[in-house]
Structure 1
Amino acid sequence: MPTTQIPGPTGVPLLGSMFDLKRDPLGTYLSAQREYGDVVRFTAGPPGLRAEFYGVYSPEGAQQVLATQAANFRKENTFYEEIRQSFGNGLLTSQDADYQRQRRLIQPLFTRRRVDGYAEAITAETELMVERWAAAPGGTVDAVDEMSRYALRAVARILFGADLDAALDSVRVNFPVINHYVTARGFQPKRIPRSWPTPTNKQAAAAERALFAVCDTIIAERGTAAAQAEDLLGLLAAARDEDGAQLDPTELREQVLIFLLAGHETTATSLTFALHLLGHYPEVQRRVREELDTVFADGHRPTAADYNALPYLTMVLKEAMRLYPAAPAIGRLAVAESVIGDVVIPAGANVMVAPYVVHRHAGHWKDPESFDPERFAPEAEAARHRYAWFPFGGGPRACIGQHFSMLESVLGLAGVLRAFEVEALDAREVPLTHGITLEAAGPVRIRLTRR
């Protein structure tokens, strides 16, 4: 019999779990699952400003929210509204007819064949990074900064082609400002209007204007030539739906900004933690190098064709993404009352599905905190619940760039590990935080030894 009595931490009097969620949200979600089960009720904040949400921590619940009952769980919560206000109504945030139209226009640009055509740009950026690392002082780099730079350059090159440098500086300066602004507002129980001239509001508005301006300038300068360019912006400009309609300049800008956001921060996170873990597990790294030495025995440059020839490296990446999913928590708003497991979720409730927690669920993963790429051997993957591992979300709103991210990550790691042995200099357990994406709460340093 379904129950409306949903268990959860009480926290401290009057404020609930506010301090725990602010101090360590991911650890709080994980502890709550282990103590209270797969659906947990959280309250946070003082009376009158109290927020309430429901954490969903089982593969079955994740599938229900993201796939089988996706129409009942919508992107209408505060967090998505803040992203929408800063970055526009692009593919990440749009809904209903807008989303369906955008998806039809953009899906052909992310077919496997089309994405494989971006491999040359990915390899070129990897080679530039390897060259830069060869001159790193003391042979040491911060993987957080370096992977962010690499992933941003790669996605900007694919988006803008020859206009890469015009956009890059603005993105590197302004994206973090907006990211932190959106995150802070998304978790505030009471938000002041964006129009109020506070220093934070003015700083964020200036960052948004700068990003809009660089995208609008590139789109305007392309003009009719945009439709003939072979980079992703050109393909977006040329895209038509079945009625011949296309994206207008504002819609183009919004899609570009979403691709810049989702296309570099997520990949950078996966690469950072993959290198960190490889630096702690030399035997795993040795097996990766043996695979690379076999595949690249003739010394050829990595191409899209090499992706399927690197199964063990892909297993390592997937295991890193299990432990450190770039999107550690996914929010939705329940339209109507529903039952998840044996718990009634009321209409209007904020629901948070947490890949970070599901990926550590002891009922689906043996010794879940350990690093073991063998979990992703084909037979092991086939035996698991489809939503025991879902770093790219799932259902009708699954990430359109999944193959792009995997291709970029595998080819990037291949280039680095062909050139260097890596040693992790920081503790295995990295302090974490999360905004729009998962972040290390400090540097993740690796020492490089030229092979």
Structure 2
Amino acid sequence: MPDTPIPGPPGLPLIGSLLDLKRDPLQAYRDARRDHGDVVRFTAGPPGLRSEFYMVFSPEGAQQVLATQSANFRKENAFYEEVRQSFGNGLLTSQDGDYQRQRRLVQPLFTRRRVDGYAEAIGIESEALAERWAAAVDGVVDAADEMSRFALRAVSRILFGQDVEAAIDAVRTNFPILGAYIRSRGFSPVRVPRTWPTPGNREALAAERALYAVCDRIIAERGGRGGSDDLLQLLAEARGEDGERLDPTELREQVLIFLLAGHETTATSLTFALHLLGRYPEEQKRAHAEVDALLGDGRRPTAEDFNELPVLTRVLKEAMRLFPAAPAIGRRAVADCVVDGTPIPGGSDVLVAPWVTHRHPDHWEDPERFDPDRFTPEREAARHRYAWFPFGGGPRACIGQHFSMLESVLGLAVLLRAFEVAALDLDVALGQGITLEARGPVRIRLTARR
């Protein structure tokens, strides 16, 4: 199985598509769909070390992998194993009983009502960033760096409360090291043991130890004092029906996964929302008008304002369509199956690709055009559920998607109330790491608004 070969790029005689995937995987995915259809087989690497995987580009296929056939698709590929080794077995990487137990304990902390309580922390960090930008030299900032800093501070404040400063430096220093290390190992045909004393292994081990030490210290200090209402305290106090709880190691693993998933994805969405608004002044004017009508008195936005900002919400959704933080999502098929009419052999690595599906010409008219009105309620209802899936889908959909949207919409509202933005880097080089990455600055020029 399958009886007939699944089409795919032929690549080079000895190494297949290895060079294309290393040079520009995002373009390689798009070219594969254009040339070979909605289910494609890639081969990469030299003989003896060659890997093979399948990519699924249709919304129907994505729904089958992530939702209707999700029991047959597991997080057991090399990439997830590398994340698991560095960040622990938290919600992003755990499976089976571990995942079900963690989800039962953590889910009550991410209800819409609970997440809305984080709006105050988001507002504090948004206002602090606006004040910082007011002092920017020549009014020029790198949106990618600034949004990474903002999103990290926001999620750290929500996690650690008054201990927010204790984690910031360690995360900003060590997360990029581990991200590059995981990316390199996760997509490499050869992975030397982590125990070997290579320079890369030693650097990654030092980064892991630094992150673990900060989290363990804050968790240990919390053991002797309660009374906090931040997310870490709520995690520590969470109990299942039979009294089960997270032990200190599990607490640290959840914290690290929340820091990873809770700041890089939101930072990507905000970076490209600002970039796109800076390229399309008419859309920016619409956003300014909405923000001024709601928050023109200068007050800090609240969770209740979220539903009163539909223009900003559509801007962010369109930014996430064009620049999904997770451009590809991997699984491993347990048994032989059929995806979008194509037989896939058991044991295969299978990837769905928001980067490509979000541009699928059968579902998006003029797909490269920035058009936030694609996300009016009527147009959303008329589309396939999995034509747009930046937060994944099915039983493993991102638990923090409302938090990400709340942070993005309210943060953007505060910044647009204070500034007009103009994009200086019109063509941004992109790469695929743990998340979508800007390989260079994403500069915007700020003009203070009266």
> How far is the alpha carbon of 1:343 from its aligned partner?
1.2
> How far is the alpha carbon of 1:342 from its aligned partner?
2.3
Contact 1:3 1:342 in 2 (8 A): no
Aligned to 1:280: 279
Aligned to 1:350: 349
Aligned to 2:222: 222
> Structure 2 matches for 1:263-302, cutoff 5 A?
263-302=262-301
Match status 1:166 vs 2:166? yes
Q: Which amino acid aligns with 2:176?
A: P
Contact 1:2 1:339 in 2 (8 A): no
Distance (whole Å) between structure 2 residues aligned to residue 113 and residue 290 of structure 1: 28
Map Cα deviations across residues 250-299 of structure 1 (whole Å, 9 max, x no partner).
00000000000000000000000000000000000000011111112433
> Structure 2 matches for 1:4-403, cutoff 5 A?
4-226=4-226, 228-403=227-402
Distance (whole Å) between structure 1 residues aligned to residue 249 and residue 292 of structure 2: 47
Contact 1:3 1:343 in 2 (8 A): no
* Poorly superposed stretches of 4+, deviation over 6 Å: none
Contact 2:66 2:393 in 1 (8 A): yes
Map Cα deviations across residues 292-348 of structure 1 (whole Å, 9 max, x no partner).
111124332111110000001100100000000001100000000001122110000
> How far is the alpha carbon of 1:190 from its aligned partner?
1.5
Distance (whole Å) between structure 2 residues aligned to residue 117 and residue 195 of structure 1: 43
Aligned to 1:444: 442
TM normalised by structure 2 equals 0.99
SS in 2 for 1:52: strand
Higher alpha-carbon deviation: 289-298 or 119-128: 289-298
Distance (whole Å) between structure 2 residues aligned to residue 171 and residue 297 of structure 1: 35
Distance (whole Å) between structure 1 residues aligned to residue 391 and residue 296 of structure 2: 33
Distance (whole Å) between structure 1 residues aligned to residue 326 and residue 343 of structure 2: 26
> How far is the alpha carbon of 1:4 from its aligned partner?
3.7
Distance (whole Å) between structure 1 residues aligned to residue 199 and residue 46 of structure 2: 26
Contact 1:432 1:440 in 2 (8 A): yes
Q: Which amino acid aligns with 1:84?
A: R
Q: Which amino acid aligns with 1:271?
A: L
Contact 1:219 1:249 in 2 (8 A): yes
Distance (whole Å) between structure 2 residues aligned to residue 330 and residue 269 of structure 1: 16
Q: Which amino acid aligns with 1:438?
A: L
Q: Which runs of 5+ in 1 are unaligned?
A: none
1:4–1:348: structure 2 CA closer, same or farther, 3 Å change rule? farther
Contact 2:332 2:349 in 1 (8 A): yes
Distance (whole Å) between structure 2 residues aligned to residue 192 and residue 330 of structure 1: 24
Match status 1:422 vs 2:421? yes
> How far is the alpha carbon of 1:229 from its aligned partner?
1.7
TM normalised by structure 1 equals 0.98
Contact 2:276 2:319 in 1 (8 A): yes
Distance (whole Å) between structure 1 residues aligned to residue 296 and residue 253 of structure 2: 43
Aligned to 1:431: 429
Contact 2:279 2:423 in 1 (8 A): yes
SS in 2 for 1:387: helix
SS in 1 for 2:122: helix
SS in 2 for 1:225: coil
> How far is the alpha carbon of 1:2 from its aligned partner?
7.8
Map Cα deviations across residues 11-30 of structure 1 (whole Å, 9 max, x no partner).
11110000000000011001
Distance (whole Å) between structure 2 residues aligned to residue 281 and residue 365 of structure 1: 19
Contact 1:87 1:257 in 2 (8 A): yes
Q: Which amino acid aligns with 2:434?
A: I
Contact 1:4 1:345 in 2 (8 A): no
Map Cα deviations across residues 185-220 of structure 1 (whole Å, 9 max, x no partner).
000112100000000000000000000000000000
Distance (whole Å) between structure 2 residues aligned to residue 240 and residue 199 of structure 1: 42
Contact 1:58 1:358 in 2 (8 A): yes
> How far is the alpha carbon of 1:224 from its aligned partner?
4.3
Identical-residue share of aligned pairs (%): 74
Distance (whole Å) between structure 2 residues aligned to residue 274 and residue 298 of structure 1: 24
Distance (whole Å) between structure 2 residues aligned to residue 341 and residue 298 of structure 1: 52
Q: Which runs of 5+ in 2 are unaligned?
A: none
Distance (whole Å) between structure 2 residues aligned to residue 79 and residue 124 of structure 1: 35
Q: Which amino acid aligns with 2:400?
A: G
Contact 2:50 2:189 in 1 (8 A): yes
Map Cα deviations across residues 232-256 of structure 1 (whole Å, 9 max, x no partner).
0000000001110100000000000
Map Cα deviations across residues 383-428 of structure 1 (whole Å, 9 max, x no partner).
000000000000000000000000000011001100000000011x
SS in 1 for 2:369: coil
Q: CA RMSD in A?
A: 1.0
SS in 1 for 2:441: coil
Distance (whole Å) between structure 1 residues aligned to residue 224 and residue 332 of structure 2: 41
